[in-house]
Amino acid sequence: MPLVLGIETSCDETGVGIVRDGGLLADEVASSVEAHARFGGVVPEVASRAHLEAMVPTVRRALATAGVRLCDLDAIAVTAGPGLAGALLVGVAAAKAYAVALDVPLYGVNHLAAHVAVDVLEHGPIPEPCVAMLVSGGHSSLLLVEDVTQTMVPLGQTVDDAAGEAFDKVARLLGLGFPGGPAVDRQARAGRPDAIAFPRGVVRGAPYDVSFSGLKTAVARWVEAHEGAVPVADVCASFQEAVVDVLTAKAVAACRERGVEHLVIGGGVAANSRLRVLAQQRCDAAGLRLRVPRPGLCTDNGAMVAALGERLAATGAPGSSLDLPADSGMDVREVLCR
């Protein structure tokens, strides 16, 4: 069984995971999120520098946790894209160095496919075909997955802000800090989801696309109009409901229309408590099976990259070439960069 080390550096998390035979041996993450907090969002250059500092220590920690040596590894997997160019470059360069030094295959993989593949670590083999909904600070995508090691078909995406970005912007508006998703989620527990009728971000003519910028503006206007007496918990609950209502409705509709029985949700926003509850209710009502990895595997991590790399290695896929680029705009149809 191949022993694979996966490296993730597409955003602000330096993640290193080690996987063997669908089992997780190590999942070490060094986050630079605190360095970005005062800017209210991830600063690419700050993230790249933090990756450089964290890379080797995080690999060492992962090896120690897994109780394996570098020379035991059978392959190295790395996020080749999409993501921040400078941040990706650090992971790709490190992965190449390890692959050359150890003389093992290098798999440059798609970040979004890794978000889907990670569920193998929690719930066993990925049910294929499935629909995957990936919602994070950088992406909001609905994908049809026939085989996660081959290709994914994009069904829909956001036409403006990503779902997590909307959470972060609304949190900032309310003075809740960065990242905003967890804070909004917490506040929302004490609020009423039907307190304020915020708009649902549907896109005419594109059944699986979503839009969050109108919602964000509606929240900003509402907060402005009620200055001095903003019921923060109600605003959070009503905003959150507007986001998760649209996301879950589209995901369930995509499954039904494509005749697919399984929905997999991933990305940082999949940690949202209301999203998890509503997705489960709607899947139950539609006779669909829902799979959501635990929150720690939903946010960016190296284990997801290792999980996809291990599947590729197990199927005997040829590795990427050593001139593998860091591809910030990597197409979702491309799971493995040659």
Alpha carbon 282 to its chain centroid, in Å, reads: 22
Site for ligand KG4 in 298-317 (CB under 6 A): 299-300
Q: Cα–Cα distances in Å, from 35 out to 30, 46, 178? A: 12, 7, 11
CA dist., res. 102 & res. 2, Å (int) = 14
Residue 279 C-beta: closest distance to ligand KG4, Å: 13
Angle at 315 between CA 304 and CA 144, to 5 degrees: 60
DSSP assignment letter at 130: E
Nearer to ligand KG4, 24 or 84 (CB): 84
Tell me if 293 sits within 8 A of 122, measured CB to CB: yes
Residue 168 lies near Zn ion (rule: CB under 5 A): no
Could you say which of Zn ion, ligand KG4, none residue 327 binds, taking C-beta under 5 to 8 angstroms by partner kind? none
Nearer to Zn ion, 116 or 283 (CB): 116
> What amino acid occupies position 303?
A
Among 14, 136, 140, 187, binds Zn ion (CB under 5 A): 136
> What amino acid occupies position 271?
A
Residue 205 C-beta: closest distance to Zn ion, Å: 28
CA dist., res. 323 & res. 218, Å (int) = 47
Among 179, 191, 201, 319, binds ligand KG4 (CB under 6 A): 179
Residue 174 lies near ligand KG4 (rule: CB under 6 A): no
Q: How many CB atoms sit inside 10 A of residue 56's CB?
A: 12
Residue 140 C-beta: closest distance to Zn ion, Å: 11
Residue 168 lies near ligand KG4 (rule: CB under 6 A): yes
Contact pattern from residue 111 through residue 150 relative to ligand KG4, giving x for each residue in contact according to CB under 6 A and a dash for the rest: -------------------------xxx------------
The sign of the CA dihedral 126, 259, 115, 271 is negative
Closest to 26 measured CA to CA, from 304, 308, 318, 241: 304
To which residue do tokens 């700050």 refer?
46
Residue 330 C-beta: closest distance to Zn ion, Å: 12
Residue 157 lies near Zn ion (rule: CB under 5 A): no
Name the strand (E) or helix (H) holding 245.
helix 232-258
Could you say which of ligand KG4, Zn ion, none residue 299 binds, taking C-beta under 5 to 8 angstroms by partner kind? ligand KG4
Contact range with Zn ion by CB under 5 A, out of 24-32, 129-137, 245-253, 328-336: 129-137
Residue 11 C-beta: closest distance to ligand KG4, Å: 5
Tokens for 97?
Answer: 């160095």
Phi, psi dihedrals of residue 15, rounded to the nearest 5°? -115, 135
Residue 300 lies near Zn ion (rule: CB under 5 A): yes
Tokens for 329?
Answer: 């705009």
Contact pattern from residue 248 through residue 277 relative to ligand KG4, giving x for each residue in contact according to CB under 6 A and a dash for the rest: -------------------xxx-xx-----
| Sites of contact with ligand KG4 (CB under 6 A) | 11, 136-138, 164, 167-168, 179-182, 185, 267-269, 271-272, 299-300
Residue numbers at the binding site for Zn ion (CB under 5 A): 136, 300
